[in-house]
Amino acid sequence: MDGFSQNVTELRLSDNPAWEGDRGNTKGDKHDDLQRARFICPVVGLEMNGRHRFCFLRCCGCVFSERALKEIKAEVCHTCGAAFQEDDVIVLNGTKEDVETLKRRMEERRLRAKLGKVTEPWGPPPPPESSGAASCLCRGASGKPPNCPALGRAVIEALLQP
């Protein structure tokens, strides 16, 4: 299972206090609402029953309704406080378009990781001397591979073009 640790995220779900599950009515002398969901969004309280879209954060595994993420704009997880970016949000049970978007993001992440490993033997990039174009390594011929964020983005975009 160690080989899958990068690809598997353990989700942190929030229990629904109204869900009784097997503890429910066994006598049959009262009405049971069997439509209760076992889990809810910890922020807005929506039940995770298929009516509302839910997503999780890759960085920490916390699960939220999409509505909660849209209504409460933040760069930290609402539950555990971990910092995240827009690319860390993964939709659960998404549409075909969502799946295609997630595949594209995954390919970009893998490509960035691969490009990072290629430049690794030459060490970390030198500290920036100035904020101008003169400090960009892709303009010089030092014998090392260029380590320029603008060039890296251009390479990633070129490789992702169909």
Residue 128's alpha-carbon distances to 69, 119, 143, 147, 153, in angstroms, are 35, 17, 19, 11, 18
Q: How far apart are the first and last CA of the chain?
A: 34
pTM metric for this prediction = 0.58
pLDDT at res. 23: 60
Higher pLDDT, 147 or 90: 90
**What domains can you pick out in the chain, each with its CATH number?**
1-94 (3.30.40), 95-127+134-162 (no CATH)
pLDDT tens figures, 132-145:
444 444 444 554 45
pLDDT tens figures, 74-86:
888 888 889 998 8
Q: List the structure tokens of 156.
A: 């990633």
